[in-house]
Structure 1
Amino acid sequence: MIDSYELFLSNYVSKEDFFNFGLTETIFIDKYKVSEYWELLKKDIKNNNPVPIRGFGRDAKGTNLFIDFYSQVFNNKNVFKDSTNNHNPSKLIQELTGLKKGKDIRNYQISHIFGRTKNIYTFTAPWNIVFKPKILDPFTGHEAKGDMVNEYQKEFYQLSYNKFQPYIEDYNEIITSPNIQLKIEEYFNELQISLSEKELNKFKIAIKEELSPIIIS
């Protein structure tokens, strides 16, 4: 199979240098600020304060399913859809790094390292948001495929996990707690919202993916 990324790198720059550029030039939020804001986010969730998520479904029409879910399972009735699907994460990383797109940096993409953008704990988790060089964006998105893409993603995820391991493990402990798992099971057993079987299955899959622990093999 002909891979355009491999063709480019084999002719103009080594794969190692390209990977090293992507890993070293990704801008992460400072660990001290990560710790501080992570605690604030958890308190907001627990204290029923407003917490954003990205919209769910075509034209975000299924977002209310997630909002109802969080109201019942996490007792937070103030979860809301982010106005642009990236406003709150963008505002957060610019405030915590002191860098503004178009003013201090250019051609950087704001990205969620581990995805899970419909998850109240991870959409604005400071350990899950970075400024990434746009030239590397396809390597951590869903568009590009191939062994080299998989290799870069593995290195990127491992680097990120190593930087923020205590906070990621804290998240994993929260999301896999027996109490939360029981509440999720009870929620779907008692679900009163009228959905077709197809819609219900799609929602269940989304919940399972969005509220999954972060495991780096």
Structure 2
Amino acid sequence: MLDGYKIFMQEFNITEDRLIEFGIKETVYVDQDIVREEWKALKSRVLDGSSKVFIRGYGREARGTDLYLTMYSNIFGHNQFFKDPTNNTSPANMIK
């Protein structure tokens, strides 16, 4: 079986340690106080439906997402759950 990472690292002469170092160095971190407050706000929105909560799509081409939206609606008693249009819009906006 082919391992795409190994092939890539061999082709570009990158060691596993160097790849890990790069990943750590280039990771975008968010201030922990902001993370804590946003987490509290998200939990509140999930529980009370005060504003939209975005989820990632489920399944190939997100065809199963409606199953999750229905389940969340039934569990939490509101319809403020929506599929994130790109599966990354909400997280990217949060980091900005």
TM exceeds 0.5? yes
**CA deviation profile, 1:42-68 (whole Å, cap 9, x unmatched):** 111111132111222344333221111
**CA deviation profile, 1:61-112 (whole Å, cap 9, x unmatched):** 3322111100112333211112222221221111xxxxxxxxxxxxxxxxxx
**CA deviation profile, 1:133-160 (whole Å, cap 9, x unmatched):** xxxxxxxxxxxxxxxxxxxxxxxxxxxx
In the alignment, the residues of structure 2 paired with residue 59 and residue 5 of structure 1 have an alpha-carbon distance, to the nearest angstrom, of 27
Task: Specify the SS of the correspondent of 2:72.
Answer: helix
In the alignment, the residues of structure 2 paired with residue 60 and residue 18 of structure 1 have an alpha-carbon distance, to the nearest angstrom, of 31
Tell me whether 1:90 sits opposite 2:92 in the alignment.
Answer: yes
Task: Specify the SS of the correspondent of 2:39.
Answer: helix
Tell me whether 1:27 sits opposite 2:31 in the alignment.
Answer: no
Q: Name the CA shift for 1:8/1:19 in 2 (closer, same or farther; >3 Å).
A: farther
Tell me whether 1:4 sits opposite 2:7 in the alignment.
Answer: yes
For residue 57 of structure 2, the aligned residue among 52, 55, 58 is: 55
Conserved in 1, the CA contact under 8 Å of 2:9 and 2:15? Answer: no
Q: Name the CA shift for 1:20/1:65 in 2 (closer, same or farther; >3 Å).
A: same
Aligned identity (percent) is 35
AA in 1 matched with 2:76 = F
TM-score by length of 2: 0.75
Task: Specify the SS of the correspondent of 2:87.
Answer: coil
Q: Name the CA shift for 1:16/1:63 in 2 (closer, same or farther; >3 Å).
A: closer
Task: Specify the SS of the correspondent of 1:52.
Answer: strand
In the alignment, the residues of structure 2 paired with residue 70 and residue 51 of structure 1 have an alpha-carbon distance, to the nearest angstrom, of 10
Measure how far apart 1:40 and its partner are: 0.7
User: Structure 2: where are the runs of 5+ without partners?
Assistant: none
Task: Specify the SS of the correspondent of 1:28.
Answer: coil
